[in-house]
Amino acid sequence: MGFVESIGRYRVGRTIGAGTFAKVRLAVDADTGATVAVKVIDKRMVIRNNLMYQVKREITAMKLLNHPNIVKIYEVIATKTKICLVMEYVSGGQLSDKLSYLKRLDEKEAKKYFYQLIDAVDYCHRRGVYHRDLKPENLLVDNQGNLKVSDFGLSVLKKPGQFLSTSCGSPCYVAPEVIQHKSYDGAAADVWSCGVILFELLAGYLPFQDCSLTNLYRRISRAQFVFPQWLSVPQKKIIIRILDPSPITRAKISDIFDDKWLQDHCNPSARIENDDDCDVIEEASTDSDSSHNTEVKETEEMTAETDRFINAFQLIARCSDLDLSGLFQEQKTKLASPHPVQETFDKIKVAAKDVSMAVKRMNSSLVEIQDSKLLPRSNLDLTLSAEVIKVTPAHCVVEVSKSTGDLRSYKEFCRSLSSLLNGGQLSASSSDMECD
């Protein structure tokens, strides 16, 4: 493997996978000689697209999980421009690649993969982690032919029984209740995705397909699919139980494990039942303001000098609340506004203009504020967000957060906004309003 650069003690080689905001690269641990995969996330792209919490979720979720059928995360390294997740390397590639040339699997192999998938998903759910994007592209196969669940970018941490509300995942694998934008049970939604995967493994094609997204969603909502003639009655029965459009009557994971078709030729004793090391979900917060906050030292570029990096994963592991805010150096300032919400937003726009910045409305309560100059962004460029929280019809609170950029410019904006809000006094978290 040709090495092109180093990240900490890891010598990094060719790219083996790529997405919108990240690349997965092959690497070797210089200390042990072990081959690993390094997911290199573009920090600026993540911040610009307001995906900081998604990255934090992925790291937190993977930190909680230790299962033979889940890709392990070894270490997190942060630089000025990148976040690098050092993970277990799974040499067999994606299950989707295997399906692309085999079309469908024989019953024995399909059952093995499905059993391992359900076991891993059950393990996640018992720890309050819901994947929400299960599909063959996120399932890897190792050189022993074992399945590994990966890519927890859309995962969420919840107490069992709580309901989720964000629609996400890949359309063909998404449960009816998710596409209907209802509050939903994350466990039931993951089970549905597993059912779609099982159908695809045995049939060689997806149960729900249509060139029109509207028609596709209609088929999913009604569970309209046709079995191929070669599926056996036991196979059809388990799929029908899982692909039930009602999450209430849909098969639970315990029902799936009890199914006779799955029990045949499977080894139930292989399941991971031990909950002794199960982390409590309350300890998995990514938004805590506790004194455990850890600021990750940043470097301009990736180099081989290991003393220029802080192993964020080790710091995370020591923190009882698993706080990850240091990965993005977020700072916050709160301002009282004696104005209604819309007037407050108008004053935010004026304050942004005063410091040559532009405002982009993200939702009803949040705006993103960025440099308005038509120039390449530098390391000093500022990325802010301002959330307006309504207290009374005529009063609200503005929380300004800095994710990246120059501290002085951030303070200048806050002072300008404070002045516009009739000289409201700053209530800053820490002493971040004192100029260096």
**The tokens of 149 are what?**
């669940």
Report yes or no on 200 lying in a domain.
yes
Residue 285 lies in a domain: no
Q: What is the pLDDT of residue 400?
A: 87
Which tokens in the block code for residue 137?
A: 């592209």
pLDDT, average across residues 305-309: 34
pLDDT tens sequence across 6-38: 888 899 888 877 766 778 889 999 999 999 999
pLDDT at res. 266: 63
pLDDT digit string (tens) for 74-127? 888 887 788 888 989 998 888 988 888 788 999 999 999 999 999 999 998 888
How many angstroms separate the CA atoms of 189 and 424, rounded?
47
**What letter represents residue 170's amino acid?**
S
In a domain, 398, yes or no: yes
Q: Which domain holds residue 54?
A: 5-89+294-326
Question: At residue 12, what is the residue type?
Answer: V
Closest residue by Cα to residue 67 from 110, 107, 119: 119
Same domain, residue pair 189 and 338: no
- 368 forms beta bridges with 360, 385
Which of residues 270, 285, 303 is at a domain's end? 270
Q: Environment class of residue 172 by beta-carbon count within 10 Å: exposed (0-12), middle (13-18) or buried (19+)?
A: middle
Tell me, yes or no, if 133 is annotated catalytic: yes
Do residues 346 and 211 share a domain? no
286 in a domain, yes or no? no
- Indicate whether 185 and 158 sit together in one domain: yes
136 & 213 share domain? yes
- Residue 279, in any domain of the structure: no
Q: What mean pLDDT is reported for the chain?
A: 75
Of 248 and 171, the one with more pLDDT: 248
Q: Which of 119, 122, 133, 323 is labelled catalytic? A: 133
305 and 322 together in one domain: yes
Non-local CB neighbours of 214 within 8 Å, separated by 6+ positions: none
Is 287 within the bounds of a domain? no
Q: pLDDT band for position 322 (50/70/90)?
A: very low
Q: Name the DSSP class of 70.
A: B
The verdict on 157 and 19 lying in the same domain is no
Q: What is the pTM of this model?
A: 0.61
Residues in the chain: 436
Sequence-distant (≥ 6) Cβ neighbours of residue 178 within 8 angstroms: 167, 168, 169, 184, 189
Domain presence at residue 433: no
Q: What integer pLDDT is reported at residue 223 of this predicted model? A: 93
- The band of 233, judged by pLDDT with boundaries at 50, 70 and 90, is very high
428 pLDDT above the threshold of 50: no
How does residue 58 score in pLDDT terms, banded at 50, 70 and 90? low
Check which CATH number belongs to the domain holding 358 and give it. Answer: 3.30.310.80
C-alpha pair distances (Å), 332 with each of 229, 295, 390, 416: 60, 14, 18, 16
Mean pLDDT of 372-399: 69
The segment with the largest mean pLDDT, out of 185-194, 270-279, 280-289, is: 185-194
Q: Domain with 20 in it: what CATH number?
A: 3.30.200.20
- On whether both 47 and 161 belong to a single domain, the answer is no
Choosing from 326, 347, 371, the residue where a domain stops is 326
Instruction: Please count the structural domains in the chain.
Output: 3
**Domain limit, last residue, from 309, 326, 343:** 326
Output the pLDDT for position 330: 55
Shared domain for 30 and 60, answered yes or no, is yes
Same domain, 196 and 335: no
CB 191, CB 242: distance < 8 Å: yes
Residue 279: HSE in the Cβ half-sphere, 13 Å Cα cutoff: 22
pLDDT for position 219: 93
Does the residue 280 lie in any domain?
Answer: no
- Measure the CA angle with vertex 65, ends 63 and 66; round to 5°: 115
213 C-beta neighbours (distance < 10 Å), count: 10
Residues 149 and 184 in one domain: yes
Residues 125 and 254 in one domain: yes
Judged against a pLDDT cut of 80, whether residue 306 lies above it is answered with no
DSSP per position, 248-271: TTSPPHHHHHH-HHHHTT--GGGS
For residue range 326-356, list pLDDT tens digits in order.
Answer: 555 556 788 888 888 899 999 999 998 888 8
Q: Residue 166: which CATH number?
A: 1.10.510.10
| 39 known ligand binder | yes
241 in the same domain as 105: yes
What tens digit of pLDDT does each residue of 132-154 get? 889 998 899 998 999 999 876 54
DSSP string, 287-351: S--STT--PPP--SS--S-GGG--BHHHHHHH-TT---GGGGT-EEEEEEE-S-HHHHHHHHHHH
